[in-house]
Amino acid sequence: MKIRRVIIASFVLIISILWAQQIELPKNPLQGQIVFEEKQCIECHAIGGYGGTEGPDLSQELYFGSVLELASIIWNHTPQMNRKFRQLRMDRPQFTQEEMLDLFGFLYYLRYLGEPGSVAKGKKLLEAKGCKVCHAVAGKGGTVGPDFEQLQQYDSPLYLVQAMWNHGETMQEELKKSGMTFPTLTGQDISDIAAYIRQATTGNVVIRMAPGDPTEGKTIFRDKQCENCHLVEGKVKKVGPNLSRIELKKGVTEVASLMWNHGPKMLESMKKESIEWPHFKTNEMADLIAYLYFLGFEDKPGDEADGERTFTAKGCTDCHKKGGGGRGPDLASIKRFDSPIRMIQLMWNHASEMEDLLITQNKELPQLSTKEMRDLYAYLRKMTQK
């Protein structure tokens, strides 16, 4: 009993925190892989070549938009998917809101892991970017910085980035002293260098890239004073760019490279604002980058008035009438309509019944664009709050 009460209490706490933030962030984006398998998506869809072939491989396509962009894609394929479900005599899965969040977090996350690095390119890059002026590999090269051979714990791109970042201030001073320019890096460069270092090191410890916890990352973003210069929402102008406005829907190493490349300017403004160069330990960089990455997961707000028009134009009012009396329920009575994920969960769970009813009227399930999804959410949210 006690355990259950604790679970419920923490659940309520989590929900209320999410509510206050308006952003829903999955704690561990890889959790959704379990949902993906349990709900049998894997029977028809592969991820990176592993899984069924009835539907497209979901890691090959570009579904890395916001929650409602993803929702629009899935919704619009519902009729074809339903047909396959019937053909294969599979039950159409139902979702709880938490499962839906995990699933969407997972699909969004697929791209995050990025492209694998190339050892050969990494080797060339260490020369081309001037790293070897100061660093050696197995004794060959400069001695200003440490030998890469000792860096076995940095074989994951995230650990490499974290270590580079931590030494960023010293490295920049050394660069100035020797009159060298700051080496900018693309995301692919970082993957390649990590691949090379992984191969060059003598150790055989395999450290997998920790996925990063976006909710932790949000705390780190505040604790490391990133917030002093960067907004992620809101309009007030700050010293650094608003990070939710820039395209951070990229792989992990690309997000890392953005930070790295802006390092020198950031250091300058940090000195001006008397903020110390932030250092990261253990999994902090991974969490922080996961958070930045997930900023693109949140949707821009929709337009309530357009949502009301969409609701009529798409025929939702044929079945959902104010005060009830239609084939479907009055949507104003939905409880806990607190997030786009909630809307998707409800719509997914009811899609078969909606479709069956529509078929009897010789109509098709209406297609919904991202904008229409966003507007519908704004409209339904307002409606359910009355």
Stretch 220-279 residues interacting with ligand HEC (CB under 6 A): 224-226, 228-230, 239-241, 243, 246, 258-259, 262, 265-266, 269-270, 273, 275, 278
CB of 100 to ligand HEC, least distance (A): 9
Among the residue ranges 10-18, 85-93, 114-122, 199-207, the one whose residues contact ligand HEC (CB under 6 A)? 85-93
State which of positions 287-346 bind ligand HEC (CB under 6 A).
288, 314-316, 318-320, 327-329, 331, 334, 346
Alpha-carbon span 256 to 285, nearest angstrom: 9
Q: Torsion over CA of 121, 127, 131 and 137, rounded to 10 degrees?
A: 80
Among 25, 68, 175, 373, binds ligand HEC (CB under 6 A): 175
CB of 118 to ligand HEC, least distance (A): 15
Q: How big is the site for ligand HEC, counted in residues (CB under 6 A)?
A: 88
What's 31-69 look like in SS3? Answer: HHHHHHHHCCHHHHCEECCEECCCCCCCCCCCCCCCHHH
CB of 119 to ligand HEC, least distance (A): 14
State which of positions 135-164 bind ligand HEC (CB under 6 A).
135, 144-146, 151, 154, 160, 163-164
Q: Can you tell me which residue has the tokens 């104010």? A: 322
Query: 347 - beta bridge partners?
Result: none
CB of 343 to ligand HEC, least distance (A): 6
Residues with Cβ within 8 Å of residue 262, at least 6 apart in sequence: none
Closest to ligand HEC by CB, 7 or 120: 120
Closest to ligand HEC by CB, 211 or 316: 316
State which of positions 22-61 bind ligand HEC (CB under 6 A).
39-41, 43-45, 54-56, 58, 61
Closest to ligand HEC by CB, 262 or 382: 262
Closest to ligand HEC by CB, 12 or 88: 88
CB of 40 to ligand HEC, least distance (A): 5
State which of positions 65-84 bind ligand HEC (CB under 6 A).
73-74, 77, 80-81, 84
Alpha-carbon span 298 to 291, nearest angstrom: 11
Among the residue ranges 1-9, 16-24, 129-137, 295-303, the one whose residues contact ligand HEC (CB under 6 A)? 129-137
State which of positions 181-220 bind ligand HEC (CB under 6 A).
183, 193
Spatial contact of 316 and 308, defined as CB atoms under 8 Å apart = no
Among the residue ranges 1-9, 21-29, 125-133, 198-206, the one whose residues contact ligand HEC (CB under 6 A)? 125-133
Name the DSSP class of 296: G
State which of positions 91-110 bind ligand HEC (CB under 6 A).
93, 103
Alpha-carbon span 168 to 281, nearest angstrom: 14
What's 141-152 look like in SS3? Answer: ECCCCCCHHHCH
State which of positions 345-384 bind ligand HEC (CB under 6 A).
346-347, 350, 353-354, 357-358, 366, 376
| Residues recorded for the chain | 386
| Helices marked H in 88-148 | 97-109, 119-128, 131-134
| Helices marked H in 329-369 | 340-360
Alpha-carbon span 174 to 190, nearest angstrom: 21
Residues with Cβ within 8 Å of residue 16, at least 6 apart in sequence: none
CB of 42 to ligand HEC, least distance (A): 8
Spatial contact of 190 and 157, defined as CB atoms under 8 Å apart = yes
Residues with Cβ within 8 Å of residue 85, at least 6 apart in sequence: 91, 92
Token readout for 113 is 């892991």
Closest to ligand HEC by CB, 67 or 288: 288
